[in-house]
Amino acid sequence: MNALKRIGLCGVVPVVVIEDAKDAVPTAKALYDGGVDVMEITFRTSAAKESIRRVAEEFPDICVGAGTVLTLDQAKAAVEAGAKFIVLPGFNREVVKWCVENDIAVTPGCVTPTEIMEALGLGVEVLKFFPANVYGGLDGMKALSAPFGKVKFIPTGGVSDKNLAEYVAAPFVYAVGGSWLCNKADIAAGNFDTITDLCKKARQTVLGYEV
Ligand code: 3PG
């Protein structure tokens, strides 16, 4: 199954910041134990590439991707390490085009009609909507859905278990992303049970029944 389908089925995309690559696999396991089988490891730390490599090699049940990808070099490094999808906070034509040409799932951040049209022009219809809480949240995406009926969004930024249910209920929402599922402090402290519990709770909200 391709990465985009995995994201859609999972319904949530944990945005993960790993400082030390040794935490990558235990974090992946914690997510997986909570029913979340996708993981976006962000290029915000120097451990990102090695973390992606470890998860791809040692925990293949998780569909691992790279987040906060700002340059083509980062996208190439992530894919070389085993990333199955690429997430950009904004729209970068060079990176998106390279992903499309290389058959790598890519979700660029698009919050304006112009950015959405750029993405559609490259055949990309599932878009990150970031920061969702700043760009109008559900109202913003609903307004954009009128002219862009084909587009589905992955709102990220300011999402938590408090507003997850509203987001996942919207027909134009493909999945929801965020760091609340797996925060840096819990990873560093080895609080993997907390991460698993938060994931279980989120999956329950997505599915509408207990997991
Ligand atoms: C991201 O890069 O997607 C965001 O930093 C996640 O936003 P959040 O921390 O508000 O969930």
| Mean of per-residue pLDDT scores for the chain | 97
Q: What confidence tier does 148 reach under pLDDT thresholds 50, 70, 90?
A: very high
| 173-198 mean pLDDT | 96
pLDDT above 80: residue 9: yes
Nearest to 192 by CA among 182, 203, 205: 182
DSSP class of residue 21 equals G
Ligand 1 neighbours (beta carbon < 6 A): 15, 67-68, 89, 130, 156-159, 177-180
- Kindly report the CATH number assigned to the domain that includes residue 24: 3.20.20.70
Active site residue 128: yes
Catalytic residue (choose from 29, 49, 84, 128): 128
Query: What is the Cα–Cα distance from 104 to 2, expressed in whole angstroms?
Result: 9
Alpha helices (H) along 40-169:
48-58, 72-81, 93-101, 113-121, 137-145, 164-169
**Ligand 1 centroid, distance to 163 Cα (angstroms):** 14
Q: Which domain holds residue 138?
A: 3-207
Q: Give the residue, out of 38, 68, 179, with the most ligand 1 atoms within 8 A of its beta carbon, to mutate for a pocket test.
A: 179
pLDDT of residue 22: 97
- Secondary element (H or E) of residue 140: helix 137-145
Question: Would the pLDDT of 152 be above 90?
Answer: yes
Report how many domains make up the chain. 1
Bridge partners (DSSP) of residue 85 are 105
Helix (H, G, I), strand (E, B) or coil at 194: helix
**Percent of the chain, pLDDT > 90?**
97
Q: What's the one-letter identity of residue 176?
A: V
- CA dist 29 and 115 (Å) reads 35
pLDDT band at 42 (very low <50, low <70, confident <90, very high): very high
pTM over 0.90: yes
